[in-house]
Chain A
Amino acid sequence: MRRWLLCALLIAGTPAMSKSIFPYTSYKEVLPNGLTVYLIPMESPGLVAYYSIVRTGSRDEYEPGKSGFAHFFEHMMFRGTRRHPGPVYDSLITGIGAEANAYTTDDYTAYHLKFATEDLETVMDLESDRFQNLSYEEREFQTEAGAVYGEYRKSITSPFALLNEKLQDVAYDVHTYKHTTIGFEADIKAMPGAYAYSKSFYERYYRPENVVIIIAGDFHMQGTLTLVRTYYSGWSKGYVPPRIPREPPQKNERTASVTYAGRTLPILDIAYKGEAFDPANRTYVAAILLGDLAFGETSELYKKLYIREQKVEFIQPSIPMNRDMPLFEIIAMVKREEDVPGIREEVYKAIATFQKNPIDAQKLADMKRRRKYEFLMHLDTPDKVAGGLARFVALTGGIDVVDRFYTTLARITPDDIQKAARQYFTPNRRTVVVLKGGGQ
């Protein structure tokens, strides 16, 4: 969830712009109530992908005891409306053979469907209805809380779930990134009692100004625009922004350890406070490339630790794109516990090298080339196009930002990389968590 695979997506403005490497034209419509809709026709015989992106995720859970609520609410969105109660919604979706699902991240919640073109109006009717008129009883709400707890139970056996929970808790003092998207177990347990709160959550966040719809695939443009206006224009404004506390600057390095009940190899997570997504900020964009250059599979450190010395089962960077200040991480699964301090030093040494020396221009060029082809190869289905744009939409409210982001990326120089290494990867921004297995 926190990890975002950068799929490069460039997109034209309204309606079409040239000079974009994005191979599809997009059309943007903003309704008077603030709802933004992107239509992206593409070759996909008879199939459409439909994404409703709510710019609310676990980041917005600022009230005490409400961690995990954005995700829980995602579940409630399948419980129906007066016109289409849950079983009717299910039966209509089943009747059209749609694939319908949703997911929640730190910064947004996405509801997505794939279906046949002829069913577009049925889908729009259902989707617009549940976003405007969701209705459920307390009993259903409480039953769904059980399913959410079940989701927590199936996931928590992973050591990475425990590691992330600890890391975020230690690294942040007040910001809502202090908790994971699934939330703390105590808060999940308490969810059945939050029926009234859930209504307020819907009232405040599920509003047109806070939602962007992307429709990609094989459909008739004008007809679809008419449908959008028909089905969504009656939705009232009313978004209330969350009061997310600002995280104070970190002053010193933080460390923590956590014990996993089962068996696992030790996991070392070295995290640095980064910076919010900003496509114009060269240093931020350079950090994304730096992660791969310093710790990705072509890095010297990867070759040393993973291939030659075989001290780690894996080592990888994670430089995410977030609305607020995320953690820039280097994560390694270490084969022998006694090697953990040494690996940690190796990571610091690698960072120092990038701080001291500009990187090889060819390596940087290789990386830019890779980004370009990753982008081109990723766009082969409507679902991937719409899904790939979701985070950009969540971060900025639109998709034109993608163009700016990749323009900056193309201009990154070895100096920018060096600057990123010096600016973000410093001890006072650092939190280190070591997870060890407890055995059984």
Chain B
Amino acid sequence: MRSAAGVVALLLLFSVFQAGGQPVDPSTFVLLPVKNDPTISFRIWFKTGSHNDPAGKEGLAYITGQMLADASTRTHPYAQIIDKLYPLAAGYSASVSAEMTILSGRVHKDNLEAFYPLFRDAILLPAFTQEDLDRIKSQTLNYLENILRYSSDEELGKAVLYNDVFAGSGYGHVEAGTVAGVRSITLHDVRAFYVTHFTRDNVVPGIGGGYDEQLVTRLAADLGKLPSGLPIKVPLSVPVRINGFCVTIVDKDAPATAISMGFPIRVLRGERQWYALAIANSWLGEHRNSSSHLYQVIREARGLNYGDYSYIEHFPGGGMRNMPPQNVPRRVQLFEIWIRPVPLENGFFALRAALREFKMLVDQGLTEEQFQQTQTFLKKYVLHYAPTTMDRLGYALDDRFYGIEGSHLERFRKMMDEISRDEVNAAIKEHWHYGSMRIAIVTKNGAAFRDALLAGTPSPISYATPKPQSVLDADKEIAVFPVRVKEENIRVIPVTSVLER
């Protein structure tokens, strides 16, 4: 039976246009005019995300986002929308992270008039048909049950880590939800979520590129037709402080061992200490970069895998991007080490090698040389973070989320001139700690890995080819490097149970 709240939600939905509405205040817009840009970029931010999924309905924010961007509106069936967008070479999509739902689109100025009504109606007039919901749920389930579980063990390992680190909080499930959650989602759920969260008081519109002022006025008026009101703010429960290493081993018929590990951190971009920690992190594990120390130790010297990196912010889809993503901000962040798949026989060795390097950094901090080289590197490397107007608009929205005056990327470069090595090493001491960490391992014969961990079994490595003496000497230490895990802090689960609920 439909709940009373749901009925109210429906009534609200269908009264939107009768209400007329108050325009959204243009001064709340994030604007990024670029005079010579022949295109216009939109990022419409609704302050909702997977963190707002009701218990048992994990995936609802994600599905709702897709039901706006990838489905019919009350003015056009989905197939017609595709036909109309096609000759424009334009499109729009929804990205849903823990805290943000972004409806983004990009169009050449010549095509704005044909594009804009389609994009507007996607936000204001979703049709919410059963046919579209069936299609989108099927895709989402295929992603969770088949693609994420089976087609990339490293992405699976990251998902397990994220879920573990934030278990019990709104961040405790991947954005696409859980299998049980997605299965249970109905049209009624989607409508109710939409009416509650997609309101004119809960939106921050962003426009960038070669637009004119009229577009701002027009968008403000249109978004003003959304219902008013703010959803009840869901408090973010603090992740449970862990003591020691907590290990989840996903057992599957894997050809290699994928490892991700980490813990929550309280420092956020914008804060001076964040930039200090960014220097330490870049030295330890700059994403997809051979300057990463972990990469040098595990891949470059030993040839164990394709890469090894670390992060101080949530970094989804690491295998598919070279630069940090935008619009995945969080109120509590995550420190993460990512070891790409290593041969099955070297899984424990690689885990020990990474932990040993991390411990040495936490204990000793950066040397002056390491500090200076990384600082110089980052000051210029950051220039590559946001090459396009769409990227810069994404950063500008994130700046709003974090309450950063000016620009994070400019501040980043400025901080590289200001921060001292002492500050970096102090930030390491304050925010990084060795010994209390969640570890996710995707491997074959998980029980054997568990037994080896519990027993502290040495994990010597041998190579088919000669290695320098310095590497062989370090290997002896790595092979017996202590990783003490209590029996109650380790679990082996079958892959079929991962992401289930």
Which residues of A pack against B, CB within 8 Å?
A: 43, 46-47, 78, 86, 90-91, 93-99, 101, 114-116, 119, 138-139, 142-147, 149-151, 153-154, 156-159, 192, 260-265, 297-298, 303, 306-308, 310, 313, 333, 335, 365-367, 369-374, 376-377, 380-381, 383, 437, 440
| Closest residue on chain A to residue B145 by CB atoms | A263
Q: Is the CB of A150 within 8 A of B89?
A: no
Partner of A307, one of B78, B138, B252, B379: B78
Q: Which of B89, B253, B258, B379 contacts A370 (CB 8 A)?
A: B89
User: Which chain A residues lie closer than 8 Å to B253 at the CB level?
Assistant: 261-262, 440
Contact-size category for B: 35 or more
Q: A307-B79, A380-B39 are in contact. List 18 more A-B contacts (CB 8 A).
A: A94-B373, A99-B381, A114-B384, A139-B468, A143-B300, A143-B303, A147-B306, A150-B299, A150-B342, A154-B152, A154-B306, A192-B465, A261-B253, A262-B151, A298-B86, A313-B142, A380-B389, A440-B496
- B291, A157: Cβ atoms closer than 8 Å: no
Is chain A's interface secondary structure helix, strand, loop, or mixed overall?
helix
B90 with A373: CB separation less than 8 A: yes
Which residues from chain B sit less than 8 Å from chain A, CB to CB? 36-39, 78-79, 82-83, 86-90, 106, 108, 110-111, 131, 134-135, 138-139, 142, 145-147, 149-154, 252-256, 258, 288-291, 299-306, 319, 322-323, 340-343, 373, 376-384, 387-389, 464-468, 495-496
* Partner among A101, A262, A381 whose Cβ is within 8 Å of the Cβ of B288: A101
CB pair A143–B301 under 8 Å, yes or no, is: yes
- Contact status B373-A150, CB under 8 Å: no
Known: A262-B151, A377-B108. A146 touches B377 (CB 8 A): no
Q: Which residues of B contact A91 (CB under 8 A)?
A: 373
Minimum CB–CB distance for B192 against chain A, Å: 24
CB-based closest 3 A-B pairs:
A146-B303, A97-B380, A262-B150
Cβ A94 vs Cβ B82 within 8 A: no
Q: How far is the CB of B158 from chain A (nearest CB, A)?
A: 12
Choice from B86, B106, B380, B495 contacting A440 with Cβ under 8 Å? B495
> How far is it, in angstroms, between the C-alpha of A298 and the C-alpha of B86 when the chains are bound?
7
Q: List 17 A-B contacts (CB under 8 A).
A: A86-B300, A97-B378, A147-B299, A150-B306, A154-B153, A154-B306, A158-B151, A262-B253, A264-B147, A297-B82, A303-B79, A308-B131, A376-B108, A377-B89, A380-B37, A381-B387, A440-B150
Q: B34 to nearest A CB, angstroms?
A: 10
A213 to chain B, nearest CB (A): 20
Nearest-neighbor residue (CB-CB) of B319 within chain A: A154
Q: How far is the CA of A93 from the CA of B82 in the complex (A)?
A: 44
Report the minimum CB–CB distance from A196 to chain B (whole Å).
15
A367–B83 Cα distance when bound, in Å, is 10
* A313–B302 CA distance with the chains assembled, in angstroms: 41
A365 CA / B86 CA spacing, docked (Å): 11
Q: Is the CB of B377 within 8 A of A95?
A: yes
A157 and B138 form a contact (CB under 8 A): no
